[in-house]
Structure 1
Amino acid sequence: MLRFATTVLLLALSGFGVQAAQGGTVTAEAKTEARRMERFDLRADRTGLDYRVFLVRPAEPPPPGGYPVIYLLDGNATVPMMESVIGTEPPDSYGSAVIVGIGYPTDGPFDIPRRYRDLTPPTPPELIPPSRDGASVIETGGRDDFLAFVETQVIPSVEARLPIDRHRRTLFGHSLGGLFSLYVLYTRGDLFQTYVAADPAIWWSGQAILKEQAAFLDRTARTGVAPGTALLIETSGRLVERPLPAADAERLKRLRSGQTGREVAATLATVPGLRLAFRDFAEESHGSMLPLAVADALRFAFGRNPD
């Protein structure tokens, strides 16, 4: 999966019409007929941690209300995937989408230690899965710091650069990113209008997200959701086991038990006013579904349910 994402990044910059800027703001005079990507780093005020933001500017003028915008977590990997879907001759109105990847200052497609911290609640040690190398310490609990960074720094930085339709914001996340997307919907549902949770890690920290879900259900049973709120949940069906010692493999299996995105989608079907869609990629693994979910996120952001 890492090799695939790296390859897609190179293709996106060279073969799909996205021109890369070296940094800074691209002026209107500098725009060409191709979609154009700039990258800039931001330091989070609350934590002092550095992030890399990937901003893809449409070639066409903004619609009357401003550009729709799709924020992608794990932006190093997911932005090139999204741009490969949009392509050089975007279908329908997809070419008007501003794509924003929230990533990390690394040449790789993922920063695994950082995403553990950014996308999770404080997690008791006994509920943290074994690290990939069996030795690294997994730091958790930074989701509120990360959410504050997205709200108070990333979004304003994007909206200072381009005219954005603030009623057409989408948030996409996969795995722990999908868990984070649900957390934002449950606790700050007004921040975005469209949410995509691809194979969300509902199991994390003993399924702690279900507590926020219960509060969300109680609140929306009385008030509903804001008009236009939409959620797409997608799941994978093929399990690929990580090579681990037997004891660690058994512990990981226990930790990952319980509800999945499928059960969550069924529960949320009762929420008044929520446009909800669900898709199961039965033949795909947790990793191989990612580019397919990114493609569905684009369609869903423009009002189309997945096929």
Structure 2
Amino acid sequence: MNWMKSLIVIVLGALPLLAIADHQETHPLAETGSAHYRFERLNIDSPDHQRHYRLDIGIPRSAPPASGYPVMYLLDGNNVMAEVQDDWLGELSAGAPPLLVMIGYDIDGTYDGEQRTRDYTGETSKAFLELILATIKPQVQARYSLDLKRQTLWGHSFGGLFTLYALLQRPEAFQTWIAASASLWYQPITYDNGMALTAFPAGTTRMVRLVKGEREGKPPIAQFDGGSEERRKAMSAVPKDANRLLAEHLAQLPGTEASYQPFNGRNHGQMFGTALHLGLRRAAGLPEQP
């Protein structure tokens, strides 16, 4: 079944690629820079030195407040750097512009479906979460003045799935969690564990935001079950409106502000930019819509 596994990775990789196809030729910030942010790059290896990550770090040109910059960690960092628009960054000066940590891969292009599938899903996501918490965050905190009471994790598609997985595993790690178009159908245990949760650790608070395009649907499960009837049944059992149902459940838990919003006319790919824009504004303490 190795060929089937490879096919699954390739097909899954094509899904969010639609989100950035129109931007791969321009890379506006990478080529022209930003009037509002300057950028630095930090390379990080996994503990076994087999995986190589690139952090593109956006630093507001304005001085940090006394409490430090809010900080926003963004998955699919190569894609974010290609998608983000300078006028979006300019809007953030009306609030508290966050330090941006775009977690990507040390590759020439903007997208690596195999690596993100490994990091964002399945058993190996535990190691990736540990890399973020034990290596990436400490290195960022050592270099910049940050407000550790205003930390955001943002992800789209498999990144949205990982964001919700991280929320359930380490709810104290961030205060704001933004999951866009989370592929809950692909990893049913995340949805099941979220719906079964009765409380987060006492003394913690969090804001959880789930968004999705109204034109999104669940892909044909038979393409992604690896030939396993058991897995097919589990994936099929995840409701089409799982993102909404999970948000409504989390909103009932003490210390949690959770919400869900569908976006008219948006498909899976289009939600990348939509969710990125609203996430930036929320991380800056601004209303999601300008």
TM-score relative to the length of structure 2: 0.81
Secondary structure of the structure 1 residue equivalent to 2:121 = coil
Partner deviation per Cα, 1:257-283 (whole Å, 9 max, x = no partner): 623211111222211221223210131
Matched residues in 1 for 2:121 and 2:246: separation?
A: 18
Amino acid paired to 1:219: A
Matched residues in 1 for 2:177 and 2:40: separation?
A: 24
Give how far 1:47 is off: 6.1
Structure 1 vs Structure 2 CA RMSD? 2.8
Q: How does 1:1-307 map to 2 (within 5 A)?
A: 1=18, 2-7=20-25, 10-15=27-32, 17=34, 34-46=36-48, 48-88=50-90, 90-94=92-96, 96-121=97-122, 141-205=123-187, 207-214=188-195, 217-220=197-200, 226-227=204-205, 229-239=206-216, 248=223, 255=235, 258-259=238-239, 260-304=242-286, 306-307=288-289
- Cα 1:305–1:181 change in 2 (3 A) is farther
Stretches of structure 2 lacking an aligned partner (at least 5 in a row) = 1-17
Stretches of structure 1 lacking an aligned partner (at least 5 in a row) = 19-33, 122-140
Identity %: 29
Equivalent pairs counted in the alignment come to 264
Matched residues in 1 for 2:198 and 2:218: separation?
A: 37
Secondary structure of the structure 2 residue equivalent to 1:37 = strand
Give how far 1:85 is off: 4.8
Amino acid paired to 1:35: Y
Matched residues in 1 for 2:210 and 2:180: separation?
A: 6
Matched residues in 2 for 1:210 and 1:240: separation?
A: 16
Partner deviation per Cα, 1:241-261 (whole Å, 9 max, x = no partner): 98x9x9749999974662321
Amino acid paired to 2:21: R
Q: Is the 8 A contact 2:98 2:283 kept in 1?
A: no
Matched residues in 2 for 1:52 and 1:117: separation?
A: 16
Give how far 1:16 is off: 5.6
Q: Is the 8 A contact 1:16 1:83 kept in 2?
A: no
Matched residues in 2 for 1:82 and 1:203: separation?
A: 28
